[in-house]
Amino acid sequence: MQRLVPAALAAMTFVAAPAWADKLPLPKAAYSADVTFVAKGRQSTGHINVDGPKERRQAKNAAGIDKTLIIRRDQGKAGLVYDLKPSHKLAVAMRMAAAEAAGEIGAAGIDIDAFYGIEATTQGTETIEGLQTTKYAIKIDGGPDLVVNATVWATDDGIIVKMIGKTSIDTDAAPSRMELKNIQRGPQDPSLFEVPAGLEILTAGGGDDEAAGKSNPNAPTTTEAPAAPAAATGAPAAQTPAPAPASPAPAPTPPASK
């Protein structure tokens, strides 16, 4: 089973630096930044806006297609993700865990959402992008088939400035990376974290359907999409056929000749 670093090197690192158990800070800051993701040898770039547990990610996915996600860690049982599809007038809502497993919000198992509040080992402090960060070593034992090893640099108010990580199921792939650049602290427009008016919310994955249906109070035209895909994509309703015209009355019988 592969680890992020060889065992001997890891042991030297923990001996050389003071280390103690801690937890990665929860997201509290409001900021915007440019972001770079590298997973399985593929790099994508984009922009994020964050306001505590609310996040908007705009980036290209692995297929090179522009993708906009709204991540609401404050909704549902454990957070909801909305994949905006304005060309189809849809917003696909899914549970955070389902979105992570599908790789929708980053490399499966090591997206930054998997780290907030998790137990970690501190390894000192570093200044990155002008911000004072604490360096954390993280190991997540997800069972016999999944072990995650990662190094995360985060501020005290939960800005994850940099992350390098690897899972045991990606033995042949290089470690995944996430880095922020051009970080600008400050209030963010609240509308960035709401599903735009005019987009129907289609729930996926189950479990938080009710929460997803109530997640767009600022868009009164948005309703939970029905199960039928044709209706969700705006297919016109079936037209009621017009009634057939009445049969013409028979012509009057001419009078008999005398």
Give me the residues of the chain with pLDDT under 50, please.
Answer: 1-20, 207, 209-215, 217-249, 255, 257-258
Residue among 38, 71, 8, 42 nearest 163 (CA): 38
8 A C-beta contact, residue 113 and residue 71? yes
Please say whether the beta carbons of 188 and 50 come within 8 A.
yes
pLDDT at 206: 52
pTM of the model: 0.69
Q: From CA 159, how far away is CA 9, in angstroms rounded?
A: 28
Distance CA 62, CA 139 (A): 26
pLDDT tens-place string over residues 171-183: 777 888 899 999 9
The pLDDT assigned to 202 comes to 94
Q: What is the pLDDT of residue 212?
A: 46
The pLDDT score that the predictor gives to residue 107 is: 55
* Sign of the Cα pseudo-torsion (13, 19, 22, 25, in order): negative
DSSP string, the chain: ---SS-HHHHHHHHHHS---EEEPPPP--EEEEEEEEEETTEEEEEEEEEETTEEEEEEE-TTS-EEEEEEETTSTTT-EEEEEEGGGTEEEEEEHHHHHHTTTTSSTTTSGGGTTT-EEEEEEEEEETTEEEEEEEEEEE-STT-EEEEEEEE-TTS-EEEEEEEETT-TTSPPEEEEEEEEEES---GGGGSPPTTPEEEEESSS-HHHHHTS-TT-TT--BPPSSHHHHTTPPPPPPPPPPPPPPPPPPPPPPP-
Q: Hey, what long-range contacts does 55-58 have (CB within 8 A, 24 or more apart)? A: 55/27, 55/193, 56/192, 56/193, 57/105
